[in-house]
Chains A and B, each alone.
Chain A
């Protein structure tokens, strides 16, 4: 690298510095959210959004600083996998948390899922006595909706 920094170098350095600081602030925001939000589901919001942006900004500044084109595909792959996996893990944790009642109902203004889950649970208990025809494990796997009569999608 040149000993004399050019104008372009200064711009790149400034941009990557800003990206790094904002990215670190986003990760800090995720941590604050995890500590301060009242229940599991709002914590999942904190764990998904700022963290994805924080990683994006930090990867971008790494790319800017290394200044070789071949790091960009690796960074892109890293970020895409993050974008693909974070919503899935948040959904799985949120779903399990909802089912195991790890949430504060008094903080919900509306809950349109409660009735559905309740109905599915009632139906399952009602169907128990004559469940000889149908595999109970199979039923449990399907009880996730209003039309949960085992109908294939």
Chain B
């Protein structure tokens, strides 16, 4: 397989993250350590080559901060829900496997959506169909058709929020059109 050249701009988030991990582990954010960390990050990224993550080319911090707070709130809600179900319903809990078609076809979006919905209430990714970007989701405590509809809506909403944060311009435009229609 031929190695595709990655532009430094595309690689920058990875390098910044590697430097951050390096400095966090040394617990030292002095300029010298930052520089050495950057050097090691570049060497590591060159030696252990991975296919580049295709970023959407935009990142909206204004949308990301409320999303992170809401996400944390949902993790809390999910934990209490699972705790309640474990104690109260236990073996009698009923579930469902639901197919949800996503809008985006980019690997990053599908992965990010899968991560987010795995951590918010009542859903877990069982299977991913990459060619049609369909997620098969296992829903905990799904008892009726309405629950399935709301589960599907929840997943689509999570994806919409992620597109607003870091989707490509085309995805954002399509989403705007869909919401407006």
Contact = CB atoms under 8 A, between A and B. Distances in A.
Interface of A: 25-26, 29-30, 32-33, 36-39, 41-42, 44-46, 48-50, 52-54, 56, 70-71, 73-74, 76-77, 83-84, 86-88, 90-91, 94-95, 98, 107-114, 116-117, 144-148, 151-153
A45 B129 contact: no
A36 B91 CA distance: 6
Contact of A46 (B23, B86, B148): B86
Nearest to A32: B86
B84 to A, nearest CB: 9
A123 B154 CA distance: 33
Contact of A145 (B86, B94, B124, B131): B131
A50 B132 CA distance: 31
Contact of B144 (A54, A109, A147): A109
Interface string B80-107: 0111011100111111111100000100
A41 B124 contact: yes
B97 A108 contact: yes
Interface of B: 20-21, 23-25, 27-29, 75-76, 78-79, 81-83, 85-87, 90-99, 105, 114-115, 118-119, 121-122, 124-132, 134, 136, 138, 140, 142-144, 147-148
A53 B126 contact: no
B97 A29 contact: no
A110 B27 CA distance: 50
B83 A37 contact: no
B24 A76 contact: yes
B127 A33 contact: no
26 contacts: A26-B83, A29-B86, A33-B86, A37-B86, A39-B95, A41-B95, A45-B140, A46-B86, A49-B75, A52-B119, A71-B27, A76-B24, A83-B119, A91-B118, A94-B126, A98-B97, A108-B95, A109-B143, A111-B96, A114-B97, A145-B127, A145-B132, A146-B129, A146-B132, A147-B132, A153-B131
Given A91-B114, A146-B129, A112 B79 contact: no
Contacts of B121: 49
Given A48-B118, A90-B118, A151-B131, 19 more contacts: A33-B82, A37-B86, A41-B138, A42-B140, A48-B124, A49-B81, A53-B76, A73-B27, A77-B21, A84-B115, A87-B124, A91-B126, A95-B127, A107-B93, A109-B144, A110-B96, A113-B127, A144-B128, A152-B131
Contacts of A39: 95
Contacts of B132: 145-147
